Structure 1
Amino acid sequence: MSTRRKPSYPSAANGQPTPLTSTMSSSPIRTPSNSRSPFFPTRLEALLISIYPATLVLGSIFSILSPASRSAPYSAASQSHPPEFAPSYFAQKKNVFNVYFVKVGWFWTTLAFTVFLIFNPGFGSGLSVRRIRAGLRYASITMWWVVVTQWFFGPPLIDRGFRFTGGQCETLRDPETRAGMSDTREYFTAAACKAVGGTWKGGHDISGHVFLLILGSGLLWFEILPALTRAEGLRDGRRILLSDGKVAHVAVEKDEEADKEKPARKGVKTALGVAALMWWMLLMTAAYFHTWFEKFTGLLVAFSGLWIVYFLPRGVPGLRAVLGMPGV
């Protein structure tokens, strides 16, 4: 009669078997009963992520049903209503929230993240590994923001995509004007076009506002989510792929001592405040600016950056060793 062999594990110095998660932090980890992909969001994360497309749909439906929005003329060139016909204060590009918050949105994202990074006791004391990895995650998301909206070996991806889909600066449509320009000068960015009094026309313009607001608030949400689940005694159910090919379950448990500290609440509240205002401005953007497709592509480009930093490492141990995971 054959006997079933027990799996063997490498032994540690004390003679006890080394656990599969010996290279991980001390957060509770167990083998799940099912094999859901580590790349998929948890139920809580899926609920959080679904808020973004739902907000875009809600805002777009409002713009269709609102009598004021329907009666106001819309300029495809500026992706907005002309100021004199704006159906709402938030439909004006010069509203105070757009000028001092959205236009400098990455500053507010950086400020909220920095406060959380400094005051959250979950990162440990001093320049801990967790704090360094959180900084690397922020740097990675910031790099994606730069590549898409600021610079990518020349014009950013948004401007390159606009030109690739047939768009150009209106001043360049005159053949005589274009003939006197080099290829380098002809390749205007949106900012350069506006600087010379031109109009950015003809191509697909990914919504930079949608991209920025989702990317910035998404970064803050994914960073503070473990702190929130710990404070409420919830389990986030994240799964990771170990180096031996097995899938493990990572849970965040309630930490009574850490949650008593006021700095922890201070860091979380700051991030929540910025994320909440970003959500409101995302709703206003959805209601008054850009077309459906422009907003949809802004959503996709933002999600792609968030997925690479916060979901891809769960299934790639080497990348996880560098970027880590929030709360772990």
Structure 2
Amino acid sequence: MTTRRVATKVEIPVPETSNSTSKRKTQMGPAPLAGSPFLPTLLEAVLLAIYPATLLFGSLFSIIHPSTRVATYLAETQSYDPSHAPSYFAKKSNVFNVYFVKVGWFWTTLAVAMLIFSHPSLGPPLNPRVTKRRLQAGIRYLCITAVWIAVTQWFFGPPIIDRSFKWTGGQCQMIYSDHPADMMEKAEMSDVREVFTHAACKTIGGQWKGGHDISGHVFLLILGSAMIWLELLPAVLRMEGLREARRIMTSDGLIRSASIEADVQLEPASEPHGYGVWGSLLVLGSSWWMLLMTAAYFHTWFEKFTGLIVAFGTIYAVYFLPRAVPAFRRIVGMPGV
């Protein structure tokens, strides 16, 4: 009797090759990363640290330098006596204060507009075509501008700076120059004519007295220049610490690199960056210098500190918070993405 042999099929597992492994990972999506989307990268933190360091250096200079130690500081004007000012830049009439800081948002707006419409990473240079990157950069600018208006210009009436001054006990006082001691007295006004803004008080010949006055110069110079830096650097520099190292939270709740949302069709070109970058750098250099002069010659420590905090809070809300909030990020986007 013949025995019939039956062949048995045996499957031997074959190790996955690197190509098949990478293909599967690509299908599953990038692996989640460590790090918090709420925090800046190390390079961003170093960049932002320049601002408090500048304020600290300028404030220490005002205490240590002989020219400021012998000068008379006038609390009511938040500056040194102009007749014996320790420096040209200690006078509110200096050309940089009058033609740059006083109209600082104009120069900030001009720098941002030049960057948006001239840099190839945001769209065709000198071409008015609206791209996604240009639209989102414009939205970020409008968000920052809205806060600038609310803090320094108008907030359903007096701006936040003037409101905070009144809330902390400040008031408009008249100066009677015919009095031997130039005694300050509260302006006698009806409730209808009560002065609520610094500008109105100055117009009627009075001065702010008492209360806490947030440094508008510090707020303006930090807010505008930080916005330009955070728009400019990710677009111009291909540095990992300014681009790929940023962490974002995706809609599935995982933390990933910001590079996964990059638009490969609009990567920074290798051609020259143009006048938009140079114009921005000019505004940035002037802003830093005037911030240093403000730190050295104007306002108290606490007034400068609150100006810094309000500016940093605004920058965080527009440039860092969206990394952790996908719905918000879809509206305002991220520079360089």
TMscore range, shorter length: 0.7 to 0.9
Distance in 1, Cα, partners of 2:295 & 2:200: 26
Measured on the aligned residues, the alpha-carbon RMSD in Å equals 2.4
Q: 1:165 aligns with which of 165, 168, 173?
A: 168
CA displacement, residues 190-220 of structure 1 (integer Å, 9 cap, x when unaligned): 0000011001111100000000000000110
Distance in 1, Cα, partners of 2:323 & 2:39: 9
SS of match in other structure, 1:39? coil
Distance in 1, Cα, partners of 2:133 & 2:232: 13
Aligned to 1:200: 208
SS of match in other structure, 1:325? coil
Query: Greater helix percent: which structure?
Result: 1
**CA 1:321–1:91: 2 relative to 1, 3 Å:** same
Distance in 2, Cα, partners of 1:194 & 1:129: 45
Give 2:132's aligned amino acid.
V
Aligned to 1:293: 302
Q: 1:271 aligns with which of 267, 275, 280?
A: 280
Aligned to 2:290: 281
Distance in 2, Cα, partners of 1:256 & 1:306: 25
Aligned to 2:222: 214
Q: Which of 1 and 2 has greater Rg?
A: 2
Q: How does 1:33-48 map to 2 (within 5 A)?
A: 33-34=33-34, 36-48=35-47
CA displacement, residues 161-184 of structure 1 (integer Å, 9 cap, x when unaligned): 000000010139857813xx12x5
SS of match in other structure, 1:171? strand
Give 1:195's aligned amino acid.
T
- The Cα of 1:18 is off from its aligned counterpart by 6.2
**CA 1:256–1:159: 2 relative to 1, 3 Å:** closer
- The Cα of 1:273 is off from its aligned counterpart by 1.4
Matched, 1:315 2:314: no
Aligned to 1:97: 96
SS of match in other structure, 1:261? coil
SS of match in other structure, 1:123? coil
Aligned to 1:74: 73
Distance in 2, Cα, partners of 1:155 & 1:300: 20
SS of match in other structure, 1:139? helix
Matched, 1:62 2:73: no
Distance in 2, Cα, partners of 1:175 & 1:287: 31
**CA 1:256–1:71: 2 relative to 1, 3 Å:** same
Give 1:68's aligned amino acid.
S
Matched, 1:114 2:117: no
Aligned to 1:260: 270
Greater CA drift, 279-288 or 185-194: 185-194
Q: Note if contact 1:167-1:202 (Cα within 8 Å) is conserved in structure 2.
A: yes
SS of match in other structure, 1:48? helix
Task: Say how many residue pairs are matched.
Answer: 298
Aligned to 1:146: 149
Q: Note if contact 1:234-1:253 (Cα within 8 Å) is conserved in structure 2.
A: no
Q: Which runs of 5+ in 1 are unaligned?
A: 1-15, 21-29
- The Cα of 1:31 is off from its aligned counterpart by 4.0
Distance in 2, Cα, partners of 1:208 & 1:326: 26
Q: Note if contact 1:122-1:227 (Cα within 8 Å) is conserved in structure 2.
A: yes
Greater CA drift, 184-193 or 247-256: 247-256
Q: Note if contact 2:225-2:284 (Cα within 8 Å) is conserved in structure 1.
A: yes
Matched, 1:137 2:146: no
Greater CA drift, 205-214 or 166-175: 166-175
**CA 1:304–1:233: 2 relative to 1, 3 Å:** closer
Distance in 2, Cα, partners of 1:314 & 1:158: 29
Q: Percent identity among equivalent residues? A: 56
Aligned to 1:8: none
Distance in 2, Cα, partners of 1:110 & 1:50: 24
**CA 1:310–1:176: 2 relative to 1, 3 Å:** closer
- The Cα of 1:72 is off from its aligned counterpart by 0.3
